Amino acid sequence: MTVEHEIQKAAEILAKAKQAAASCGAGVSAESGIATFRDPGGVWDKLNPAEVGTTSGLLNTLDRNGRKLVPFFIELLEAFEQANPNPAHLALGDLEQMGILKTVITQNIDNLHQEAGNTDVVEVHGNGFRLACISCGKLKTRPRRELIAEIKSRIQELREYNLSTMAAIMPACEHCQALMRPDVVMFGEMVKDIPRAFDAARRCDAMLAIGTSGVVYPAAYLPFEAKDAGAPVIVVNPNENPFSRVSDAYIPMNAGTAMPKLVEAIKALRSA
Ligand code: APR
C-alpha cells in the first residue's frame, strides 16, 4: 500500500468520526524542536533515566552532581522556550474545530496541544508549566516562556550546585512559601487522569496513535483499548511501533507532514 493510499484510508475513517481520540507521544513535538526520548540522540541518549527520571534519582544527582546537569537543563529549557505548536499540533486543533476530534491524550508535558487550540487535553504525564507545591499541594500554572526565563536566570546566578541551591531555582508557593515542582510524572509515580484517558479511548469512534514508541504504560494500552472497543486505529509514526500491527491505516511519516495532508484529504472528501 502506498502512503497516499494509507492517508486516504485514514481520511475516510476520520471523515465519519465525531468523537475521535488522539494518543500522542514525544514524536508529535519533535518538529517543534523538542527532542524525543528514545530516538537516536534523544533525551535518554544524553541523560540516564535512573539518574534523572525518578524523583529520588534526580534529587540525588542534583545534590551529588548538579553542575553536570546544568548544561542539559539549559538545553532542554531552551528547546521548550523556543518551541511553537508545529503543523501536527495545528492539524489536531483543526480536527477538533471540524467536529472530528474530541480528546487529545498526551504523554507530552510541553503544553503545545493547548496552545494549538485543543480544548480537551488529558496530560497523563502532567504539564511542565503547572507547578505543584510539595507542602500544601496548591497548583499554579505559569505562562511557558515567562516561567522558563525566570528559571534560566536563576540557574545562571548559581555559584554552588547542590540540592538546596538547585531546588531554589524553582518559584516558591504563594500560599505557604514552600518549594514548588513541575507537576509532571516521574518514573514510578502515579500517572494522571488515567480514568479519563481510558474513558476517551473506550468511547472514541476512531483512535489516532501519533509519535509514540508505545513502550511506556499505561499510556501504551490506549490504542489497544480503543481497538478492543471497536474503534479503527490510525498510526502516524515514521518508525515501526507496537501499534502498526493493529492499525486500520498506518502512515509511516513525520506527524508534521502527515497530519496536514490528512486534514486536507478529509476536507476533500467532505466537499466531494
Ligand atoms: N513524527 C511522528 N513520530 C515521530 C517523529 C515525528 N516527527 N519523530 C519521532 N517520532 C516517533 C519515533 O519513531 C518514536 O516512535 O516518536 C516516538 C518517540 O518515542 P519516545 O521517544 O519513546 O517518546 P514517547 O513514546 O512519548 O515516550 C513515552 O517515556 O520517558 C518517558 O515520560 C517519558 O512521556 C515519555 C514516555
Question: Total domain count for the chain?
Answer: 2
205 by DSSP, 3-state: which? coil
Contact 102/20 with Cβ under 8 angstroms? yes
User: How many C-beta neighbours within 10 Å does residue 262 have?
Assistant: 28
* pLDDT value at residue 22: 99
Tell whether 180 and 266 lie within a shared domain. Answer: no
Ligand 1 centre to CA of 229 (Å) is 25
Read off the pTM.
0.97
For ligand 1, mutation pick of 32, 37, 240, 247 (most atoms within 8 Å of CB): 37
Residues 15 and 93 in one domain: yes
Distance, CA of 13 to CA of 33 (rounded, Å): 30
**CA 26 to ligand 1 center in whole angstroms:** 4
Looking at the predicted structure, is the pLDDT value of residue 167 above 90?
A: no
Probe target for ligand 1 pocket from 36, 105, 185, 250, with the most ligand atoms within 8 Å of CB: 36
Q: Is 106 in the pocket of ligand 1 (CB under 6 A)?
A: no
Confidence of residue 123 (pLDDT cuts 50, 70, 90): very high
> Does residue 38 lie within any of the structural domains?
no
Mark whether 75 and 115 lie in a shared domain: no
Q: Are 72 and 155 in contact (CB under 8 A)?
A: no
Mean pLDDT confidence for 63-84:
94
d(CA 17, CA 5): 19
Cell of 218: 499505561
Q: Of 89, 113, 125, 175, which one is the catalytic site residue?
A: 125
Q: What percent of the chain has pLDDT over 70?
A: 100
Range of the domain at 224: 3-32+85-125+191-271
The answer as to whether 155 is a domain residue is: yes
Grid coordinates belonging to 170: 524553582
Contact criterion met (CB below 8 Å) for 116 and 260:
no
Are both 144 and 177 inside the same structural domain? yes
Nearest 5°: phi and psi at 252? -80, 65
Question: Does residue 258 have its Cβ closer than 6 Å to ligand 1?
Answer: no
